[in-house]
DNA sequence: CGGTATCCGCCTCGATACTG
DNA sequence: CAGTATCGAGGCGGATACCG
């Protein structure tokens, strides 16, 4: 077993395939459109709000704020606010967030790496069905 | 075999953090609500449409169909239809789909394993801010 | 069985304006 | 700078009906 997690999945009480399981919600925060990109960015280090906003191309203030709150609540992101003027807030990953980001980035890099294959597959698919 | 990707990410032309990059779309198919669960299920083997529907608790016919089409178009899922009566269609992962599912499951299992920590973090967060 | 077509509510998301 | 408040459009997704 090359698993680094501690137990056999079948023995765990949390099964993401089950509709009611809270792990599904957290998985959605992590893998969601902005969640994945935010965690990916924070893996590189600490960011301030607007730095993050520029890094994650296309995210709105509202969605970034919402995303950060969800990730903070799940214990993946740490928010450090300094009561200065102008205010300064730094976002970093927690140890758990870092573990999650590692795996997420593995996935992201794999996707980026295999995009030529994906693009070829799309062309083939569209060539057959695209006559629509 | 540790890293199976071939190049340094910085050298690749596909950057998921860029709004216009097609890799972002594929990442969303993979990590999306139903995409991730569908790939996770198919990692266990071949499934027929309604088997999959039962396995992925809560998915509707429409969304499963839509999800499978997107994944097939991206070259992650192979669809094998037998022209029998009644019809029989089997879905399996392509080699690329299998690679992707491996990483995705790594993430999913980590999340399931760490849910106690997540749940604690939520309680702490809600205790402080929940007094709303 | 394995889907597609259509309708439609709701909730996400983006744009804008405003606050500390 | 670091957000919150509000609003309106659109698309996600469920329910239903129907086809091969």
Q: Which residues touch strand D (CB under 7 A)?
A: A 48-51, 61-62, 65, 68-69, 79, 81, 86-89, 91; B 32-34, 58-63, 86-87
Closest CA to B45 of B78, B69, B68: B78
Residue B7 has pLDDT above 90, yes or no: no
Query: Residue A78 has which token pair?
Result: 């740490």
B52, A13 contact by CB (below 8 A) = no
Cβ of A59 less than 7 A from strand C: yes
**Chain B residues touching A25 at Cβ < 8 A:** none
**Which residue from A16, A19, A55 is facing B111, i.e. has the nearest CB?**
A16
CATH number for the domain whose boundaries are A18-126: 1.10.10.10
Residue A10 has pLDDT above 70, yes or no: no
DSSP element (H, E) containing A20: none
Whether pTM > 0.85 for this model: the answer is yes
- B46 contact A CB<8A: no
**Which residue from A14, A72, A112 is facing B112, i.e. has the nearest CB?**
A14
Q: Between residues B84 and B11, which one has the greater pLDDT?
A: B84
pLDDT recorded at residue A114: 96
pLDDT digits (tens, 9 = 90+) for A42-78: 999 999 999 999 999 999 999 999 999 999 999 999 9
Where are chain A's structural domains?
A: 18-126
B37, B54 contact by CB (below 8 A) = no
Which pLDDT band, with edges at 50, 70 and 90, does B8 fall under? low
Q: What is the CA radius of gyration of chain B?
A: 18
Residue A129, classed as helix, strand or coil, is: helix
Q: What mean pLDDT do residues B51-69 have?
A: 93
Provide the terminal-to-terminal Cα distance of chain B, rounded to the nearest Å: 51
Helices (H), chain B: 22-31, 33-42, 49-55, 61-73, 95-129
Query: Residue B60 has which token pair?
Result: 């509707």
Residue A108 has pLDDT above 80, yes or no: yes
Q: What mean pLDDT do residues B101-109 have?
A: 95
Tell me how far apart the alpha carbons of residues B109 and A16 are, in angstroms, rounded to a whole number: 9
Q: What mean pLDDT do residues A89-115 have?
A: 96
Q: How many residues does chain B have?
A: 132
Task: List residues bridging with A79 in a β-sheet.
Answer: A91
């Amino acid at each position: 077993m090359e698993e680094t997690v501690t137990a056999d999945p079948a023995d765990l009480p949390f099964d993401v395939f089950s509709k009611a399981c809270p792990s599904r919600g957290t998985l959605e925060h992590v893998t969601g459109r902005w969640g994945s990109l935010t965690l990916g960015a924070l893996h590189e280090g600490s960011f301030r709000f607007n730095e993050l906003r520029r890094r994650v191309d296309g995210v709105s203030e509202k969605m970034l704020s919402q995303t950060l709150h969800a990730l903070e609540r799940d214990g993946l992101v740490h928010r450090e606010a300094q009561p200065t003027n102008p205010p300064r807030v730094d976002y970093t990953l927690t140890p758990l967030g870092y573990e999650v980001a590692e795996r997420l980035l593995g996935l992201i890099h794999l996707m980026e790496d295999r995009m030529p294959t994906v693009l070829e597959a799309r062309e083939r698919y569209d060539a057959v069905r695209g006559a629509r």
